[in-house]
Amino acid sequence: MAAEPQSQPAPLAGVHVAPGPHVQDVSFTTRRMMADVLIGLAPVMVAALAVFGWYAVLQVGICICSCLAAEYLFHSRLRGKPATLGDLSAVVTGAILGLSLPWSAPWYVGVIGSFAAIGFGKVIFGGLGMNLFNPAMVGRAFVMISFSVVLGAGAYVSADVPGVLSQATPLTAGKMTATVTELWPLFVGNVNGSLGETSAIACLLGGLWILVRRAGTWDVPLAVVGTVALLAAAAQLGGIHPSLTVLHHLLGGSLLFGALFIATDPVTSPLTWKGRLIFGVFIGVFIMVIRLFSGYPEGVMFAVLLANATVPLINRWTVPTPLGGPVPVKK
């Protein structure tokens, strides 16, 4: 029956065919999502500037530049892929890495951390979207292990600089010397710590922007903060490190920074809201285990990395059932 069509298609100048759908929402792109994360980081940056001054600008600047250089070197030069600097993902990684470092870290820590973040954290897996672990946290873990002295709890404290920089970080103080930090400085950020973590209010403001713009999802931060609050309450009742109350655990350390800016990285979190809730609970549990029972005062970085490793498993547990039930098996 079917033979060649008799009429040859009339050539239509400039009219082409393509499979549908033929229209697309162009108001939201991956680049825009990354830009929203950077906008969300702005208040954190401002708070870091207020507390640490030019140390903050220098550290974050070094990391962003190094991440861009690493992305260009590893992705475009070594793998011969088209340039991806414009998608801003390397800038986000650099900014988060920089803000997670102590003000006192020497310049080469940021550089090496950035190259490890982009190289081992991202490009080695195949680039953006393929990585299993949060790149910034991979970079930070790398330098943390490589330079334990300049990144340990002691590195934050400097007797030469007046003000908060001569004091121990709130969690270290609470854990090691049972010193109770006042809550108000913890909330506004007038305490010692990594560059981006000190101000709870700045993290909340920036995080709100990310959630409103849906550059990150609400479920992960909710689960992380909720889990930490519950476990911190249990610890307080159980008398473990009693100088750290629930609010100290929530406002101190990098909990809010981590929950809102690091754990929300979509690439390294599960696909569905159910999975993301489980993921958030995992992070919260890991954080509290490290904070309460390990030698480290803080555990957000290792908690995120550990939870990242469980994401493929969580995705398997949470394959959603189609609306009408599973596809019937043909008999």
Which three-class secondary structure string do you get for 174-229? HHHCCCCCCHHHHHHCCCCCECCCCCHHHHHHHHHHHHHCCCCCCHHHHHHHHHHH
Can you tell me the distance from the alpha carbon of 211 to that of 229, in angstroms, rounded to the nearest whole number?
A: 20
Can you tell me the distance from the alpha carbon of 56 to that of 60, in angstroms, rounded to the nearest whole number?
A: 6
Can you tell me the distance from the alpha carbon of 91 to that of 122, in angstroms, rounded to the nearest whole number?
A: 13
178 or 309: whose CB is closer to other proteins? 309
105 or 210: whose CB is closer to other proteins? 210
CB of 290 to other proteins, least distance (A): 26
CB of 75 to other proteins, least distance (A): 11
CB of 91 to other proteins, least distance (A): 14
Can you tell me the distance from the alpha carbon of 258 to that of 251, in angstroms, rounded to the nearest whole number?
A: 11
156 or 261: whose CB is closer to other proteins? 261
130 or 176: whose CB is closer to other proteins? 130
CB of 245 to other proteins, least distance (A): 35
Q: Is the dihedral of CA 318, 322, 325, 330 positive or negative?
A: negative
Tokens linked to 176: 């090691």
Binding interface with other proteins (CB under 8 A): 1-7, 9-10, 12, 14-26, 28-33, 87, 89, 127-130, 214, 217, 266-267, 269, 271-272, 319-330
Tokens linked to 151: 């990144």
7 or 177: whose CB is closer to other proteins? 7
Residue whose entry in the numeric block shows the structure tokens 């809102």: 260
**Category of 312 on φ-ψ map: left (φ > 0), alpha (ψ -120 to 50) or beta:** alpha
CB of 144 to other proteins, least distance (A): 26
Cis preceding linkage at 322, omega within 30: no
57 or 271: whose CB is closer to other proteins? 271
33 or 283: whose CB is closer to other proteins? 33
In the chain, % helix, strand, coil (3-state, to 5) comes to 60, 0, 40
Q: Is the dihedral of CA 255, 257, 260, 265 positive or negative?
A: negative
First to last CA, the chain: 34
CB of 260 to other proteins, least distance (A): 16
32 or 79: whose CB is closer to other proteins? 32
Work out the widest C-alpha separation in the chain, in whole angstroms.
Answer: 91
**102 pairs with which residues across the strands?**
194
Alpha carbon 197 to its chain centroid, in Å, reads: 12
CB of 192 to other proteins, least distance (A): 34
CB of 310 to other proteins, least distance (A): 15
